[in-house]
Structure 1
Amino acid sequence: MAELSVITPIEYLKGVGPQKADVLKKELQLFTIGDLLQYYPFRYIDRTQFHKIRQLHPEMMGAQVLGRLISLQEVGEKRSRRLVGQFRDDTGSIELVWFQSITWLKKSLNVGAAYIIYGKPTEFNGQISLTHPEMELYNTQEKKIGNMTMQPVYSSTEKLKKFNLDTKGIQRLQQTALETVYRSLHESLPDYIIHEHQLMPYAQAMLAIHFPQNTQDLNAAIRRLKFEELFFIQLRLLRNKQLNIQKYRGHRFDKVGDKFNTFFNERLPFPLTNAQKRVVKEIRIDTNTGAQMNRLVQGDVGSGKTVVALMSMLLAIDNGYQACMMAPTEILAQQHYAGITALLGEEICTVKLLTGSTPAKERRIIHQQLEEGTLDILIGTHALIEDKVKFKNIGFVVIDEQHRFGVEQRAKLWRKNIIPPHMLVMTATPIPRTLAMTMYGDLDISVIDELPAGRKPIKTVHFFENQRLRVFGFMREEISKGRQIYVVYPLIKESEKMDLLYLEAGLENLQREFPLPHYKISIVHGKMPVKDKDFEMQRFVKGETQIMVATTVIEVGVNVPNASVMIIENSERFGLSQLHQLRGRVGRGAEQSFCILMSGNKLSKEGKTRLETMVRTSDGFEIAEVDLQLRGPGDISGTQQSGVLEMKIANLAADQAILTEARNRVIDIFKTDPQLLLEKNKMLGQYLSQRSPGISWDKIS
């Protein structure tokens, strides 16, 4: 048989075979020996460090002790049957307890022998014990790969464990894999990059990541493999960006005409902030290059993204093109339509709304006007991407809250013209810098980091459940001033798993405290029919109800300047970005607004950090950074859609410095050798040609 390599199917590795290969493929998506080697440990046990028995305490993650097994006794019957050992060193003794494999352990453990044991200390009735400790006879270690001073720990599953693929079993496979293919592990980075960035060679790093000899080797291996992973992500992203500019011609908007100027000089109700002016200028420059624009605009709730989008669409219309704006929900699309038509008036251009509930007759008229070119701006939901919707000459597309749309949905808008329209992607969910560089590394990014003048910061406070009467009193005060209040719950119905104050019980409570006819309450949640939801929303918008009880359906898409209080129940159960979005529903009028975070009396460490962050700052980017630290990139809105973030070892929350170093190196390479034709970069060109994905729709829009 041919020599094994990293591309060899995993079933051919000694010790695997068809059955184990099948479970490794299903449980861990490991198909080749190379996949196995890239299944890295999630932590290491430092086997160079020993503790004395008297030093053990239950807060320790794990401890290693050298001592002697004094006795071994089976106690209890049936379900309470267990094996108990007494283990002693020169500072004291502890109990070792096993509930499984008792018969085998009784035969294999030697009473009186010296052992190195490892396990997590627990406390029971004031006594420290170790349950199911790892046992290793002292002085029997062989000097070979696998008997290391830093022992790797791998994630496993119940199914894997049935095939003896627990952490020890995976460790054995890694040992076999490295012994089998180590000599064929080829370098993946050019020599000059390894030298200039002082990186450990690839084969050495793969050995050290699985079987490090010391902490220094392990850290060097981790840095090497993180740099490589982030370097190749940036290489792909920046090549895509380069290709888009070269490959996709864009409509040239070379004039600023009557519609843009009329709006700017006569209709704009407030002066633009410097941040808005900067972003409009960036868009004007982009759309006049002759290349297709792909720009992401980030800005907190209320920062004025919609006005920037409208001025960009007017620029398109002045140059003879149509524009459209797609929003994820009907409520948000209706809000954009109402806001934009109010800003434009009736003279500047024609604007229509298209959603799933647009009547068929009106829909036909919209289709006809679009194809004739008499409709300038179309605002809508997913209805815009239907094949029936055909533009005469679409030149500019705005996608709001883009993470709520799938890749292919966004791509359909991109295909609505022979020359692709310019794309402006907007999000009110601030994206941490590391995530933006990775997730949107091939888009140009604009940030609106100023709020319009006159906006008062929202005061955020945290109250525990036992302070609820104070909150009710405050609500009455605000309602007496003519203000309105949101009360948001995480669930509609009670969950057996979570002890939450749920919406229905909360509504009953509020109805007792705020009875008819003095107070009126609206209720909105995701399970309601659209008509009922809209009816309740409109009652609140018109001021007919003072309190809106809702689930997170109102996270985006409701703009009620008179609403000055946002109360979030069980706030410790929400993610930080969601709390920030909800808070942004108030503070839209001239009056002082408040966000009240209600929580249970007991908070986890993470819950406490989230609520303290919300009270301390209203800076969406700072909040997003904390959110990334707490949750990791896979959980941040929309990032799961992108294969870019399926990282083996890098961590965007912790590796900003390495990411910046890798990205800057890629930028320098493309500046001096854009086609990667130099001999020293041929390896990188081959890497890209092997992974050419064609059009990367998710990156285009």
Structure 2
Amino acid sequence: MNAEPGLPLERRIGKRSAGVIEKHLGITTVEGLLNYFPRRYMARGELTPISELPRDEEVTLIARVLSSSTRSMQARKGTITDVVISDDDGRSGLRLVGGTDFHGKVPGTLKISFFNAYRAKSELLPGRRALFSGKVTSFKGALGLTNPDFQVLDSDPFTAGSDDPEKLAAMPIPVYPATAKLPSWKIQKVISTLLETVDLGAVPDPVPASVAAREDFLPLATAYRLVHEPETAADWQRARHRFRYQEALVLQSALARRRSQLAAEEATARRPVTDGVLAAFDRNLPFTLTDGQAAVGKTLAAGLAENHPMNRLLQGEVGSGKTVVALRAMLQVVDAGGQAALLAPTEVLAAQHYDSIRRTLGPLSRDGLLGALGSQDGESVQVTLLTGSMPAAARKQALLDAASGTAGIIIGTHALLSDNVSFYDLGLIVVDEQHRFGVEQRDALRAKARKPPHLLVMTATPIPRTVAMTVFGDLETSTLDELPKGRAPISTHLVGLAENPGWAGRIWARAREEIDAGHQVYVVCPKIGTDDDGDFTPGEAEPADVGLEDNGRELASVTAVVEHLQDEPSLAGIPLAPLHGRQDPDLKSDTMARFLANTVKLLVSTTVIEVGVDVHNATLMVILDADRFGISQLHQLRGRVGRGGLPGTCLLVTSLERGHPSRRRLEAVASTTDGFVLSQEDLKLRREGDILGASQSGGRSTLRLLRVLEHGDVIAQARSDAQEIVAADPALDAHTELADAIDRYLNPEKEAFLERG
């Protein structure tokens, strides 16, 4: 039978079943459903610990029916069948969990109500074990399931006809990622039908035979059958191991192929000169580069001097001096007659880069002069800003300067990607905060160059090695892991208002103390206004889940906090100002300028100050409703203080009670300032899709079985194999199955993991 990967699903399982799968899972092809792997496997003797079930989530569990009763409804016709299920196995209070007896545990119970449900009344009899699927709710302290579906294990239709009771009892139960309308066992039934109709032996195998033999992998057809219909735990474990490596190989081969293609392109070499702007800049530097900055600088200089494009990721801690390293690379390109473009995610950050780079260049920065590139006089370079909200005249001049070559360094936002933007000779693209941009946007800027330009990607969010291998595998990586001299440590404290409500007033008294000492304060809020619906200005970091807290309390907003602080006795007479992404650009620039000049003492803002903002006199940051921010965002935010040699303090304020899962993030941030440790913790706590880019809003991970923290050895082996395969066969002409798998897996809709790279 035809097992073509793209074959429509309805050709194998019928139009009706295919329609249900497409509606609820979005899967339309044979391959898509074959690769819809179980999330986990349950043993038939296993009872799910009911006390450990997550609230407000769809779950699949095994439980024993404790009691069942049916009563008539009073308000209308019909009946209600109340079923109480338990994790008690019914033998002297013992509870079975994964086949192990635990003595002395109190059994958990859960109540389910079925309306007019003859099937529940007749099948869910006391003593029977069953699979239940539904959303866990809590009412008056009692757990329940909303709109559940169930399957009685005593009469399991998938194993009916088995004449070996022991074998039946040992068979694992696959549990698939399900929806409220499509429980796991119905997905399993459809997949079982598919397995009967597809010739699995005809499914193309992307893993080279030599690799499969070396690793002793199951044949692909066997792996598909055992991952969906295992008879023992060893069956699905071997199958998953095979598919996990296969997934890693496809991803790493895609990255290796892209890397090979980039390396084969011809770029203009931008070699250093001895008497240009860069040499003058280095002579005038008021500080000494750290050893790390100097080493990375040499690496970048060598890469820019090559006649094929440099493609490099520069990662470093908040405040490690990445901007100076990037500026030196830009000056080398300008000296060689080219232009450099710096792409920033927000207008606030773009303006901050523009001001700080001009300030850092000092007399070497040339503004508004007509003529050729600064490198031609060897003494100066024009820096130009281009954003979407600039006045028409200024924008027109900036476009002219970029196109004519007058501007050597062009700093901008997404506006740089517009069709009407052109460059005289674009030699280097610097992308700041890469996680805000996709490959598409990077390539749109690349297309504006005469020849493929060099690329430098910067991120202040440290990345675990395994993530870097998976997400940024097409880039070489450099790391700055030491802070410049004079950078003071930051102390971070968790302020729990639930257990210490009196601390609310102390926060503002603490802010006043800092201001009276001559310093300045940031206050960060998750929202702009009290009526905010989360529709933030494009490019501004959008906080998660803006709106009401779980307990109905309104989250802190910039407008409400400013209003409150104007009447706060502790801050009487203190000049303060709001800052957020919806303000007029001129107002934003003026506010930042006043804060930088120390005429504004306290700045109340959203996350527009998350990256790049550099005010040396700011020593205290108060983050309100800090539980609404992610680990990396909190780490970025607190990096705005302690930048001028003065010790910094960050207060993470939350109203959540002790023990709430979201407080674990805050505890992690308060416990360390090591971004690499935090990145590991971030990956553990967040859905992998958020970090790997399965969707910009944080949906299900693009990865099926691969987990970048758990399977680093698999990723490393696959990366080594992929590099060897691509080195010997760059076009993958001799590995057509692998090439086809890359094209299918990384189609435009699913190329999410590369969109961060």
Secondary structure in 2 aligned to 1:31? Answer: coil
* Residues 99-498 of structure 1: pairs in structure 2 closer than 5 A: 99-100=113-114, 102-105=116-119, 108-109=122-123, 115-119=128-132, 134-137=151-154, 142-143=160-161, 149-158=171-180, 161=181, 165-181=182-198, 182-246=200-264, 248-347=265-364, 348-465=380-497, 466=501, 467-494=503-530, 495-496=547-548, 498=550
Consecutive unaligned residues in structure 1, runs of 5 or more: none
User: Given the superposition, is the C-alpha separation of residues 577 and 692 from structure 1 closer, same or farther in structure 2, using an over 3 Å criterion?
Assistant: closer
Identify the range of structure 1 (417-426 vs 148-157) with the bigger mean alpha-carbon deviation: 148-157
Identify the range of structure 1 (450-459 vs 315-324) with the bigger mean alpha-carbon deviation: 315-324
Q: Compute the displacement of 1:300 (Å).
A: 2.2
Q: Deviations over 1:138-174 (max 9, x none)?
A: 699525699772111223334xx2xxx4322111111
1: CA distance between counterparts of 2:389 and 2:286? 31
Q: Compute the displacement of 1:86 (Å).
A: 8.3
One-letter amino acid of the structure 2 residue matched with residue 529 of structure 1: D
Q: Compute the displacement of 1:205 (Å).
A: 1.8
Consecutive unaligned residues in structure 2, runs of 5 or more: 54-58, 94-106, 365-379, 531-546
Of 37, 42, 46, which residue of structure 2 is paired with 1:45? 42
TM-score (norm 2): 0.81
1: CA distance between counterparts of 2:131 and 2:357? 66
Contact 2:384 / 2:409 at 8 angstroms: preserved in 1? yes
2: CA distance between counterparts of 1:358 and 1:50? 63
1: CA distance between counterparts of 2:154 and 2:700? 45
One-letter amino acid of the structure 2 residue matched with residue 457 of structure 1: P
1: CA distance between counterparts of 2:124 and 2:383? 84
One-letter amino acid of the structure 1 residue matched with residue 341 of structure 2: C
1: CA distance between counterparts of 2:466 and 2:283? 40
One-letter amino acid of the structure 2 residue matched with residue 329 of structure 1: T
Q: Deviations over 1:123-146 (max 9, x none)?
A: 999999998764244699525699
User: Given the superposition, is the C-alpha separation of residues 95 and 592 from structure 1 closer, same or farther in structure 2, using an over 3 Å criterion?
Assistant: closer
Task: Provide the residue aligned with 1:21 in structure 2.
Answer: 18
Contact 2:81 / 2:115 at 8 angstroms: preserved in 1? no
Task: Provide the residue aligned with 2:96 in structure 1.
Answer: none
Q: Does 1:632 find its partner at 2:687?
A: yes
One-letter amino acid of the structure 2 residue matched with residue 333 of structure 1: A
Q: Deviations over 1:535-565 (max 9, x none)?
A: 3323222211211111222213422111100
Task: Provide the residue aligned with 2:627 in structure 1.
Answer: 572
Secondary structure in 2 aligned to 1:545? Answer: coil
One-letter amino acid of the structure 2 residue matched with residue 655 of structure 1: H
Q: Compute the displacement of 1:47 (Å).
A: 0.8
Identify the range of structure 1 (225-234 vs 315-324) with the bigger mean alpha-carbon deviation: 315-324
User: Given the superposition, is the C-alpha separation of residues 349 and 127 from structure 1 closer, same or farther in structure 2, using an over 3 Å criterion?
Assistant: closer
Q: Does 1:584 find its partner at 2:639?
A: yes
2: CA distance between counterparts of 1:463 and 1:545? 25
Task: Provide the residue aligned with 2:56 in structure 1.
Answer: none
Identify the range of structure 1 (20-29 vs 305-314) with the bigger mean alpha-carbon deviation: 20-29
Contact 1:457 / 1:593 at 8 angstroms: preserved in 2? yes
2: CA distance between counterparts of 1:554 and 1:515? 24
Q: Compute the displacement of 1:238 (Å).
A: 0.3
Q: Compute the displacement of 1:364 (Å).
A: 4.0
2: CA distance between counterparts of 1:30 and 1:603? 41
Secondary structure in 2 aligned to 1:350? Answer: strand
Contact 1:85 / 1:95 at 8 angstroms: preserved in 2? no
1: CA distance between counterparts of 2:119 and 2:686? 40
User: Given the superposition, is the C-alpha separation of residues 119 and 350 from structure 1 closer, same or farther in structure 2, using an over 3 Å criterion?
Assistant: closer
Of 66, 71, 74, which residue of structure 1 is paired with 2:71? 74
Q: Does 1:598 find its partner at 2:653?
A: yes
2: CA distance between counterparts of 1:623 and 1:180? 48
1: CA distance between counterparts of 2:346 and 2:110? 58
Give the number of aligned pairs: 683
Secondary structure in 2 aligned to 1:100? Answer: strand
User: Given the superposition, is the C-alpha separation of residues 48 and 344 from structure 1 closer, same or farther in structure 2, using an over 3 Å criterion?
Assistant: same
Q: Compute the displacement of 1:666 (Å).
A: 1.7
Q: Compute the displacement of 1:377 (Å).
A: 1.8
2: CA distance between counterparts of 1:94 and 1:387? 62
One-letter amino acid of the structure 1 residue matched with residue 236 of structure 2: L
Secondary structure in 1 aligned to 2:210? Answer: helix
Of 18, 33, 42, which residue of structure 2 is paired with 1:36? 33
2: CA distance between counterparts of 1:429 and 1:129? 41
One-letter amino acid of the structure 2 residue matched with residue 659 of structure 1: I
Secondary structure in 2 aligned to 1:567? Answer: strand
User: Given the superposition, is the C-alpha separation of residues 367 and 119 from structure 1 closer, same or farther in structure 2, using an over 3 Å criterion?
Assistant: closer
Task: Provide the residue aligned with 2:720 in structure 1.
Answer: 664
